Amino acid sequence: MTLSRPITPAASALRDKFREVRATSLALAAPLSAEDQCIQSMPDASPTKWHLAHTTWFFETVLLQPHATGYMPFDVRFHYLFNSYYEALGPRHPRPQRGLLTRPSVHEVHAYRRHVDDAVVALLEEGAFDWAAVEPIVTLGLNHEQQHQELLLTDILHALSCNPLLPAYKPASGPALRLATVAPAMRWIEQAGGVVEVGFAEHAGQPAFCFDSETPRHRALVQPHAMADRLVNCGDYAQFIADGGYQRPELWLSDGWAAVQANGWRHPAYWLAPDDPRLGFGLQTQGAASWHVFGLHGVRPMEADAPVSQLSFYEAAAYAEWAGARLPTEFEWEAACNAPGITQMTGHVWQWTRSSYDPYPGFRPMPGIAAEYNGKFMVGQLVLRGGSVATPEGHTRPSYRNFFPPAARWQFSGLRLAKDL
Amino acid sequence: MTLSRPITPAASALRDKFREVRATSLALAAPLSAEDQCIQSMPDASPTKWHLAHTTWFFETVLLQPHATGYMPFDVRFHYLFNSYYEALGPRHPRPQRGLLTRPSVHEVHAYRRHVDDAVVALLEEGAFDWAAVEPIVTLGLNHEQQHQELLLTDILHALSCNPLLPAYKPASGPALRLATVAPAMRWIEQAGGVVEVGFAEHAGQPAFCFDSETPRHRALVQPHAMADRLVNCGDYAQFIADGGYQRPELWLSDGWAAVQANGWRHPAYWLAPDDPRLGFGLQTQGAASWHVFGLHGVRPMEADAPVSQLSFYEAAAYAEWAGARLPTEFEWEAACNAPGITQMTGHVWQWTRSSYDPYPGFRPMPGIAAEYNGKFMVGQLVLRGGSVATPEGHTRPSYRNFFPPAARWQFSGLRLAKDL
Amino acid sequence: MTLSRPITPAASALRDKFREVRATSLALAAPLSAEDQCIQSMPDASPTKWHLAHTTWFFETVLLQPHATGYMPFDVRFHYLFNSYYEALGPRHPRPQRGLLTRPSVHEVHAYRRHVDDAVVALLEEGAFDWAAVEPIVTLGLNHEQQHQELLLTDILHALSCNPLLPAYKPASGPALRLATVAPAMRWIEQAGGVVEVGFAEHAGQPAFCFDSETPRHRALVQPHAMADRLVNCGDYAQFIADGGYQRPELWLSDGWAAVQANGWRHPAYWLAPDDPRLGFGLQTQGAASWHVFGLHGVRPMEADAPVSQLSFYEAAAYAEWAGARLPTEFEWEAACNAPGITQMTGHVWQWTRSSYDPYPGFRPMPGIAAEYNGKFMVGQLVLRGGSVATPEGHTRPSYRNFFPPAARWQFSGLRLAKDL
Amino acid sequence: MTLSRPITPAASALRDKFREVRATSLALAAPLSAEDQCIQSMPDASPTKWHLAHTTWFFETVLLQPHATGYMPFDVRFHYLFNSYYEALGPRHPRPQRGLLTRPSVHEVHAYRRHVDDAVVALLEEGAFDWAAVEPIVTLGLNHEQQHQELLLTDILHALSCNPLLPAYKPASGPALRLATVAPAMRWIEQAGGVVEVGFAEHAGQPAFCFDSETPRHRALVQPHAMADRLVNCGDYAQFIADGGYQRPELWLSDGWAAVQANGWRHPAYWLAPDDPRLGFGLQTQGAASWHVFGLHGVRPMEADAPVSQLSFYEAAAYAEWAGARLPTEFEWEAACNAPGITQMTGHVWQWTRSSYDPYPGFRPMPGIAAEYNGKFMVGQLVLRGGSVATPEGHTRPSYRNFFPPAARWQFSGLRLAKDL
């Protein structure tokens, strides 16, 4: 038996980070009942409980099993239940049936988390491990968990939106203000373009982690253009609706128009029209003579200067067409990220770009199981840039490439305009 | 303010019956977690919580609102959430989305039940009501609730069957015996046929309630035939499987063969083949060299002389064809119900008959809201007779017509053979 | 080499009947182009060319191959292409893809027919065959072909109805009269009921052929009732529409109401509302201020006293409910078939009954391949009685049981009312 | 009445080109029967007759109606029947139902073509028109018709492939040679990359026409890479299959693997495995111990050095992954188009690139109705470059951007490998 070595400062910091991220997931689930945490409202979304278990499975499978000597799995059946899509890791429970897993209970999943947390912390504290191998896995696992934290919020919001009672995830601390102020006019900020460097770059004092899809850093040519200084807001978008935006095929991509027709879209996913029966139903409002928006705080009057959210790419592109503009490319966005005068680049909504999620020149997936993390999804998806209110602090960065299919509209996803010069 | 009159013996008995039936529903739900009670595993099934709430809604809407002066609804929104299919009672929550109702919680549904129970008991005890109007509604509501008690069991069993862990609804008190005994051979009991009376008849000392579909009582002609003295059991059915029953189109109705092909049926819904991976998975068994069956007590070795269950009509008809026999008609079944030598007529499985669910001559639906109870389903369904292990005590009777579409196989449904003479 | 024997009168008559029925099929196809004869407008319908080939395949496979010594098949691949649903006769071309068979061409199918016709006639004329075996097959084949003659018409009518130009199968010889006359009021004819004989009976001077589904002849009990003296006509049905028949769920069976909602039914399948754009489109009419009906003669003004047709069972049942009546059972219909005062029992439209297509007591399928003819469809279907304008002369009889699923509405199917006394 | 002016040489050349292209469409349809020309084998494909009519409709609607004074439409109803997807031009016949249009007949469509051809030629010969307006429309119409000529071939090939007889579009003049020769090994040609000009450029002596999607010409950065000197051929691809390519998820994009599973893909769309029953069925081959391929000449033995075709993007990408390479980007392809040593860039198969069909910087759709030509499809599609055996002579060019969704595999679509340096 060996004496354990004292923990290094780097390992200590990693352990603390681990504890913090793991605690955040539980905190996000805390306002939800066991029933809330169990259901799945559509195949694209997952139950809260599943998010809690799957992120734990990731540490167990990718970190503990290969690297923690003598680790005993909590329950070998969970390897089948909580794999998401890793073909290399064997068969798995079908995605559309995640909501049927009433067992294990949320309490058992909490026990599973504690079991794995204890083993990870013990591994990091014990010290007798290969730092070069372990640190990247832990960091990847934490970034992975942060992605699921955002999905946990967007998925439960979708589930709650399917309930005619429209319950709030977390009641607001104060009343929503019905703002009389006018949003500042959007301004165009000219960008010179030229050869720019895009993709992840390691800087002193910056986070050292990125996903493989952000690499390799490379040069790209960007044309001169103008970028909007702010996001499109709800007041802007309400004008698009009022101008018949959802009834004019000439504004839409062909697939987008088909989606409008097939699904009866008339406004963003979580907007309630003034005559929505659920407004009276839930007695949530008085004098519902205007748009309302369902969100994490429940149903509240639409705020004209709040960024519009829960848009599909199709809606974002149609709005841009209506506005006589276009969506920025992902490289225009990245190049303008720190440009003077540009605001709201992160922390509000993810911003649809006019760029398909294609691999960068020279792209190679991460080695090992993480090879299935990004590359295999690089078809049929659009890039979103920025970060939203639901994105964990410190998780995103200018080179970050989020992606969703063009019809997805349960994310905090909006847009910023661009135009040619 | 009026003095309440003393409760009559009839009202007292009805109140006690009401309390007993209502308590049974809660007792059936008791082994289930809040998560278990929330989910819906297919559009045909409903969540446990929904059954608890819907049966309560029935009393609130049909009994209390019209007949209990000053009754205050528990929550008016529940009228939308918990209506099942009564067009006359307004719009309702879509059936396939019942599993998304995490709110109200199971605790709130319990409170809803108490609120309505108190009001019903108060109405019955208070005495100032129209007995001729109220008694039939209470009795109908109780029979309705008993039907849902059975569905509560079959629906949760289906939900649990979708979980790869195959959890037990209620663990068995003792181990399942692997029986070495041989089931007694089936015997044919000859029936003379002729003109018989079928449909509900009120007898002294018999229950006075029936559904409209059992009426009017009328005469029918039955041909001479033989009826099996017992149900087809699992051992019998295993021989059908072993003889290639699921691979021989000539045994099947055309729609049945299409269902076999489309769904990959190879055995009854809840049977596990000897090589089923879930047998090792759950460690539920040792030496799984034979069929196992999932049921309310979880996974247990197939018992050869237990009645085969969870069969579709198609499978029942194919088995009968294979056995050189046929299914009985519903009138043959009813006529033979008390014939000497015939066993297992109720309490084991519902028995598919070779009769479509057509209206009886002179059939008229019940008046009022109950008009939507049976008549509007009289197309595309087959009649089952008898009653199952899941049927509440005293709920069924010889004239009782249960019905399901021919592909349904999540009920406790099996068969008995008949043949022409 | 043997001398051929002189043909017997019975064989001669059968040969003549064979030639006549076969010629009728070609005559029915004659107004159609090769393109018309090739297409399939829905999985339930078949191309004209396929009907011509399939009926030929039946004679080749069931008659010539087993009974005509030395018969050489026209093309062995046709056994795969033109089998309809006979599992015992091997694999077959998928039903929904019959419209993709541009080859063989209609000319090749004509050659196929001649090849088989010659061989059948030669067999019948040659005389050295087993009459007891051959005659029933030829007769069955001719009745089979007559059934397909009717389907040929209803299927091509459906195909033409899908063309916005609404072309006529065969232009009418004269203009449709816009009748000012009022249809005679419907009268109720009382029927005493009692024990009746139903099913096929051989009588001197009557056709000796029937399908197995009409047997065995047996006694049934019929309650006293009244039967309408005539069919429901278009004028009657227009009142049902005008009275909101398609908007009132209480009139409909549950599945029927779901079909109305899912398919947007607002009138019978081939009716054109006064504002139908195709009325102006095709310039077929002047002053289209009223209902029009598409039929074998194209689009013509609705005639109030013509029997309503192209109804589903659901619509027939809803109409009867609206009229305060019901559909007759199949035994009521059969018993009333020759009753005094009852008109329009055949030759106009098939009449939906309130009877599911269940087997008769003691029913056994025909032996051999014909076993798959009727019995395997005895679930999920409703019985229609009578015969339509498209039914070949002499093909139907009082015991004839036609059947279709309840949502089918591309047949010449209507209704007659009945009611309890 | 004005005297007609003598036709200019430019107008004369355009008229001759018009006649030539229009004649080619008819020549392509000539080997097909009226039945062949009528059917539609899937929603993505169109009937031959529809292609003939739709290209005619385009000239009638976009050229003649606005520009030919006094033009009388052939049949106003055709505007509804033969519009493809132009929202601005009003409602249209649903795409999946094009195969139901047996009327107008192919003869009427020929008459329609003659009517429009005469009017176009008269317009061009008469001379009193606005050349600057008319010439671009005629040229666009001809390029449009050439695109449909290719689709006519790929669509009818798909339709014939659905017939179990696998008839040939046009029998080959000579027997397919079973080649003993070995295909030359693929060689890598290094490309330096750097800033390249991409998009359409007008050169003296080059065709002046391009589609809007090829514009504006602009600079792009291309990384150093190597490009295969030839296409992947059938022999190469057979090795991928033999190596389990269709059973190894790690080679596939996530959506691609899902398509493999859902559709049971095991080889390219028109390959027949050695044990395919249709090989014996049609007697097309002797000793079918190897792969066969269905094509315009019917079923023929697979030729190892013929380019592999009828691949989806998913299959192309999986093959490249298996080969340790990748697909080229569309700009790499365009830059290498005339590079020394690179062969088979056009005339064999369209080549899938690793580029999504995104708009070029500064892209604006063509004005007028042509605005709906390309831009509205710029999402969810992949770019193919080159040209195939089915592409009309002179129709394609290096900047040409063909596009299809990633699962499409009824085109003459294959691949060329690239790799990073």
Which chain B residues are Cβ-neighbours of A34 within 8 angstroms? 33-35
Q: Which residue of D32, D35, D158, D162 to mutate against C (max C Cβ within 10 Å)?
A: D35
- pLDDT tops 60 at residue A161: yes
pLDDT score, position C3:
52
CB A227 within 8 A of CB A416: yes
pLDDT score, position D1:
43
CB D121 within 8 A of CB D12: no
Least confident range from C51-60, C236-245, D272-281: namely D272-281
Which chain D residues are Cβ-neighbours of A257 within 8 angstroms? 87, 376
Does D175 or A298 have the greater pLDDT score? A298
* Interchain proximity D382–A379, CB inside 8 Å: yes
What single-letter amino acid sits at A216? Answer: P
Per-residue burial over A23-33, b = 16 or more CB atoms within 10 Å of its CB, e = otherwise: eebeebbeebb
Pairing of β C350-356 and β C413-414: parallel
Q: Which residue of A49, A77, A81, A102 to mutate against B (max B Cβ within 10 Å)?
A: A102
Which chain C residues are Cβ-neighbours of D167 within 8 angstroms? 103
- pLDDT tops 70 at residue D206: no
- pLDDT tops 60 at residue C207: no
CA distance D287 to chain C (A): 19
Residue in chain C closest to B355 (alpha carbons) equals C358
B356-359 contacts at long range (C-beta below 8 A, 24 or more positions apart): B356/B381, B356/B382, B356/B383, B356/C356, B356/C357, B356/C358, B356/C379, B357/B213, B357/B381, B357/B382, B357/B383, B357/B401, B357/B403, B357/C356, B358/C354, B358/C355, B358/C356, B359/B213, B359/C354
Of A220, A249, A420, the CB nearest to D87: A249
Q: Do chains C and A touch (3 or more CB pairs under 8 A)?
A: no
* Interchain proximity C354–B356, CB inside 8 Å: no
Q: D28 — alpha (psi -120 to 50), left (phi > 0) or beta?
A: alpha
What is the rounded average pLDDT of the residues B94-104?
Answer: 93
* Interchain proximity B358–C356, CB inside 8 Å: yes
Collect all residues from A whose CB is shorter than 8 A from any CB in B.
33-39, 41, 77, 80-81, 93, 97, 99-106, 159-160, 162-165, 167, 281-282
- pLDDT tops 80 at residue A292: yes
Q: How far is CA A332 from the centre of its chain?
A: 21
CB A401 within 8 A of CB A208: no
What is the rounded average pLDDT of the residues D3-22?
Answer: 89
Of D36, D100, D106, the CB nearest to C102: D36
Burial class (CB in 10 A: 0-12, 13-18, 19+), C186: middle
pLDDT digits (tens, 9 = 90+) for A170-189: 987 766 554 445 567 899 99
CB C296 within 8 A of CB C320: no
What is the rounded average pLDDT of the residues C395-400?
Answer: 95
What single-letter amino acid sits at D257? Answer: W
pLDDT score, position C4:
58
What is the rounded average pLDDT of the residues B229-241?
Answer: 97
CA distance D316 to chain C (A): 29
pLDDT band at C182 (very low <50, low <70, confident <90, very high): low
CA distance C110 to chain B (A): 31
pLDDT score, position A4:
58
pLDDT band at C85 (very low <50, low <70, confident <90, very high): confident
pLDDT score, position C65:
95
Radius of gyration of chain B (CA): 23
B92-99 contacts at long range (C-beta below 8 A, 24 or more positions apart): B93/A164, B95/B43, B95/B46, B96/B40, B96/B43, B97/A162, B98/B40, B98/B46, B98/B47, B98/B50, B99/A39, B99/A99, B99/B38, B99/B39, B99/B40, B99/B41, B99/B47
CA distance A283 to chain B (A): 10
CB D28 within 8 A of CB D149: yes
pLDDT score, position B283:
46
* Interchain proximity D256–A87, CB inside 8 Å: no
Residue in chain B closest to A166 (alpha carbons) equals B103
Residue in chain D closest to C92 (alpha carbons) equals D164
Residue A197 three-state SS: strand
Least confident range from D170-179, D321-330, D374-383: namely D170-179
Residue in chain D closest to A363 (alpha carbons) equals D420
**Chains that contact B by 3+ CB pairs under 8 Å?**
A, C
Q: Do chains D and B touch (3 or more CB pairs under 8 A)?
A: no
3-state secondary structure string across D77-129 = CHHHHCCCCCHHHCCCCCHHHHHHCCCCCHHHHHHHHHHHHHHHHHHHHHCCC
CB B85 within 8 A of CB B58: no
What single-letter amino acid sits at C235? Answer: G
- pLDDT tops 50 at residue A127: yes
Q: Percent of chain D beyond pLDDT 70?
A: 93
Q: Percent of chain D beyond pLDDT 90?
A: 83
Collect all residues from C whose CB is shorter than 8 A from any CB in B.
85, 87-88, 195, 218-221, 223, 249-250, 252-257, 313-314, 317, 329, 354-359, 361-362, 371, 376-380, 382, 406, 420
CB D181 within 8 A of CB D213: no
Q: How far is CA B412 from the centre of its chain?
A: 7
CB B186 within 8 A of CB B229: yes
pLDDT digits (tens, 9 = 90+) for A216-230: 999 999 999 999 999
Strand partners, B121: none
CB D270 within 8 A of CB D162: no
What single-letter amino acid sits at C303? Answer: E
pLDDT band at C184 (very low <50, low <70, confident <90, very high): confident
CA distance D388 to chain C (A): 26
E runs forming strands in B230-380? 271-272, 292-295, 298-301, 350-356
pLDDT score, position D182:
57
pLDDT score, position B175:
60
What is the rounded average pLDDT of the residues A279-306?
Answer: 79
Of D219, D359, D377, the CB nearest to A354: D359
pLDDT digits (tens, 9 = 90+) for C348-369: 999 999 999 999 999 999 888 7
CA distance A203 to chain B (A): 46
Backbone angles phi, psi at C218, to 5 degrees: -155, 170
What is the rounded average pLDDT of the residues D327-336?
Answer: 98
pLDDT digits (tens, 9 = 90+) for C303-325: 999 999 999 999 999 999 999 99
What is the rounded average pLDDT of the residues B197-208?
Answer: 79
Collect all residues from B whose CB is shorter than 8 A from any CB in A.
33-39, 41, 77, 80-81, 93, 97, 99-106, 159-160, 162-165, 167, 281-282
* Interchain proximity B163–A38, CB inside 8 Å: no
Radius of gyration of chain C (CA): 23
What is the rounded average pLDDT of the residues C95-113?
Answer: 96
* Interchain proximity A39–B102, CB inside 8 Å: yes
Q: ipTM for the complex?
A: 0.92
Angle between helix B9-29 and helix B48-58 axes, rounded to 10 deg: 160
User: How would DSSP label each residue in A297-325?
Assistant: TEEEEPPTTSBP-S--HHHHHHHHHHTT-
pLDDT digits (tens, 9 = 90+) for B161-170: 999 999 999 9
Residue in chain C closest to B219 (alpha carbons) equals C221
- pLDDT tops 50 at residue A287: no
Q: If you count DSSP H runs as helices and E runs as strands, how many of each does chain C have, helices first?
A: 12, 12
pLDDT score, position B206:
59
CB D271 within 8 A of CB D302: yes
Averaged confidence pLDDT in chain A: 92
pLDDT digits (tens, 9 = 90+) for A107-122: 999 999 999 999 999 9
Strand partners, D348: D388
What is the rounded average pLDDT of the residues A200-207?
Answer: 72
Does C128 or B267 have the greater pLDDT score? B267
- pLDDT tops 90 at residue A401: yes
pLDDT score, position C283:
46
What single-letter amino acid sits at A163? Answer: N
Which chain D residues are Cβ-neighbours of A218 within 8 angstroms? 223
CA distance C105 to chain D (A): 7
What is the rounded average pLDDT of the residues A241-246?
Answer: 98
CA distances from B187 to B342, B350, C96, C162 (A): 9, 20, 46, 57
What is the rounded average pLDDT of the residues C76-101?
Answer: 90
pLDDT score, position A59:
97
> What number of CA atoms fall less than 13 Å from residue A229's CA on the CB side?
10
pLDDT band at D171 (very low <50, low <70, confident <90, very high): confident
Tell whether the torsion through CA atoms of B236, B239, B241 and B246 is positive or negative.
Answer: negative
d(CA A290, CA A307): 17
pLDDT band at B335 (very low <50, low <70, confident <90, very high): very high
CA distance C22 to chain B (A): 29
pLDDT score, position A175:
60
Q: Across A191-205, C205-219, D254-268, which has the greatest mean pLDDT?
A: D254-268
pLDDT score, position D79:
92
Which chain B residues are Cβ-neighbours of A90 within 8 angstroms? none
pLDDT band at D205 (very low <50, low <70, confident <90, very high): low
Q: A374 — alpha (psi -120 to 50), left (phi > 0) or beta?
A: alpha
pLDDT digits (tens, 9 = 90+) for D67-81: 999 999 999 999 999
Q: Which residue of C79, C100, C105, C109 to mutate against D (max D Cβ within 10 Å)?
A: C100
pLDDT score, position C181:
52
* Cβ-proximal residues to D12 (8 Å cutoff; 6+ apart), any chain: D124
- pLDDT tops 80 at residue C204: no
pLDDT score, position A128:
78
* Interchain proximity A356–D358, CB inside 8 Å: yes
pLDDT score, position B66:
94
pLDDT score, position B1:
43
Structure tokens at A277: 């029966």
pLDDT digits (tens, 9 = 90+) for A337-349: 999 999 999 999 9
* Interchain proximity D354–A358, CB inside 8 Å: yes
pLDDT score, position D204:
63
Q: How far is CA D368 from the centre of its chain?
A: 24
* Interchain proximity D41–C81, CB inside 8 Å: no
Of C37, C41, C97, the CB nearest to D100: C41
Q: Percent of chain C beyond pLDDT 90?
A: 83
CB D311 within 8 A of CB D413: yes
> What number of CA atoms fall less than 13 Å from residue C71's CA on the CB side?
24
* Beta sheet of B402-404, edge-to-edge order: B402-404, B382-385, B350-356, B413-414
d(CA A96, CA A43): 5
* Interchain proximity A255–D313, CB inside 8 Å: no
pLDDT band at C126 (very low <50, low <70, confident <90, very high): confident
What single-letter amino acid sits at D129? Answer: F
3-state class percentages of chain B: helix first, strand second, coil last, to nearest 5 = 40, 10, 50
